[in-house]
Amino acid sequence: MKTIQSDNYPIYFEDSIAELEKFVKAGNYSRSFILTDEHTSIDCLPLIQAQFAGHENFDIIEVNSGEESKTIDFCIGIWKMLIDFEADRKSLLINLGGGVITDMGGFAASTFKRGIDFVHVPTTLLSQVDASVGGKTGIDMDNIKNIIGTFTQPKAVFIADEFLKTLPARQILSGTAEMLKHGLIKDAAYWAALKNSDLSIPSAELIYRSVEIKNEVVIEDPKENGIRKALNFGHTIGHAVETNSLINDKDPLTHGEAIALGMICEAYLSHKKTGLSSDHLTEIVTVINSLYPKYNLAAANYETLCAIMLKDKKNQNGKINCTLLTSIGQCSLDNICTDAELCESLAWYAAL
């Protein structure tokens, strides 16, 4: 599998940990820092340390795992550690973890001393096929996802499937949702290949293709003025459900579980509004429902969910904007949906 060239940075797929070592050496950094959470410290950091054994001394910055940590408070903690460790402008931050780590580490690095270099070593399926590519960094605030952030590209991304061995099945499935999305919005053949694969451990080739699709889209539209909105399929409703679940559920939905639900609802809206056939709708619902557990949506929440959607940064002028499908493998941008339509799709999901 070839290295993918993104917007001025390489995405490695082979011998990635060795590539990371080469990168760090060639970069002549004054200091290198690794950002981890308590899981990646144990499950992933040793692989890095083994590669570098003896050659490099890293300072480790560890934060708590999970979306609840993707906040300005943890970000301040990262900045203060960098200050305490006397990081300078020629320092490097290596983000070793899932999307929480790559998003927050990217934000912290892109604003520390007005921007130091950072690279991503994504260790969840979700962060490999989605979060680590495209230059979006961010943290949550006031229960709004990614409301604070920058567009800043990493200097490189290192994808290694070794990391997936320790990843819990539920986290694998979380990433699968984004892979399914990539097929649905852009590549019917890829969707078919996914449908017919054992998705409990997606093959390296499937991961590669997903990154390729994401990369094609973001390179064409780095700042999300047009085609990049394709990637929002399932996310208008999915993000709202995820936010709501984070606030209210003891065991909240993963990002992918929420997006899976969002894709079902938005496929329904696609059928109603943008001509998705009922065969395609049925196929999408069947595949997704066979992979993800049903989530219990309380009708009382529909209004709350719509209010959350309105606060989402993708919506403007008080209008809720959805990316929908015209068929499997093709999408349509900028479909304004009314509260009534959104509620209807949620009710439809609930009644499935």
Which residues participate in catalysis according to the annotation?
114, 136, 178, 214, 224, 228, 232, 235, 239, 255
Dihedral-angle region of residue 276 (phi above 0 means left; psi in -120 to 50 means alpha; beta otherwise) = beta
State in angstroms the smallest separation of the CB of 73 from ligand NAD. Answer: 15
Per-residue x/- marks for a second copy, 265-304, CB under 8 A?
----------------------------------------
Distances (CA, A) of 295 to 149, 206, 260, 266: 30, 27, 10, 16
Q: Which stretch binds a second copy (CB under 8 A): 120-128, 137-145, 170-178, 204-212?
A: 137-145
Q: What is the DSSP annotation of 142-156?
A: TTEEEEE--B---S-
State in angstroms the smallest separation of the CB of 348 from ligand NAD. Answer: 25
- Site residues for ligand NAD, 27-66, by CB under 6 A, read 37, 39-40, 43-44, 65-66
- Site residues for ligand NAD, 273-302, by CB under 6 A, read none
Which residues, including other chains, have CB under 8 Å from residue 22's CB and lie 6 or more apart? none
With beta carbons less than 8 A apart as the criterion, state whether 177 and 124 touch: no
If one asks whether residue 336 binds a second copy (CB under 8 A), the answer comes out as no
Per-residue x/- marks for ligand NAD, 154-183, CB under 6 A?
---------x--xx---x--x---------
- Site residues for a second copy, 98-127, by CB under 8 A, read 107, 110-115
Among 83, 247, 299, 340, binds a second copy (CB under 8 A): 83
With beta carbons less than 8 A apart as the criterion, state whether 262 and 234 touch: yes
Partner that binds at residue 228, options ligand NAD, a second copy, none, CB closer than 5 to 8 Å by kind: none
Partner that binds at residue 257, options a second copy, ligand NAD, none, CB closer than 5 to 8 Å by kind: none
Among 24, 45, 94, 100, binds ligand NAD (CB under 6 A): 100
| Joined tokens for residue 201 | 């451990």
Pairing of strands 139-141, 144-148: antiparallel
State in angstroms the smallest separation of the CB of 204 from ligand NAD. Answer: 15
Distance CA 348, CA 327 (A): 20
- Burial environment of residue 333 by CB neighbours within 10 A (0 to 12, 13 to 18, 19 or more): middle
- Judged by beta carbon, residue 166 or residue 315, the one nearer ligand NAD is 166
- Judged by beta carbon, residue 272 or residue 314, the one nearer a second copy is 314
State in angstroms the smallest separation of the CB of 78 from a second copy. Answer: 11
Length of the chain: 352
Partnered with residue 327 across adjacent β-strands are 330
With beta carbons less than 8 A apart as the criterion, state whether 322 and 300 touch: no
- Site residues for ligand NAD, 122-151, by CB under 6 A, read 123-124, 126-127, 130-131, 134, 136, 145-146
- Judged by beta carbon, residue 278 or residue 316, the one nearer a second copy is 316
Q: 296 in helix, strand or coil? A: coil
With beta carbons less than 8 A apart as the criterion, state whether 30 and 88 touch: yes
Distance CA 260, CA 178 (A): 8
If one asks whether residue 99 binds ligand NAD (CB under 6 A), the answer comes out as yes
- To the nearest 10°, report the CA torsion of 308, 170, 181, 345: -40
Q: What is the DSSP annotation of 42-71?
A: HHTHHHHHHHHTTT--PEEEEE--SGGG-S
Partner that binds at residue 130, options a second copy, ligand NAD, none, CB closer than 5 to 8 Å by kind: ligand NAD
H helical segments located in 122-234: 125-126, 169-186, 188-195, 204-220
Q: Distance of alpha carbon 249 from its chain centroid, rounded?
A: 21
Count, residues near a second copy per rule CB under 8 A: 37
By the criterion CB under 8 A, which residues form the site for a second copy?
A: 30, 72, 76, 79-80, 83, 86, 88-90, 107, 110-115, 136-138, 141-142, 144, 146-151, 310-311, 313-318
By the criterion CB under 6 A, which residues form the site for ligand NAD?
A: 37, 39-40, 43-44, 65-67, 70, 97-101, 103, 123-124, 126-127, 130-131, 134, 136, 145-146, 163, 166-167, 171, 174, 254-255
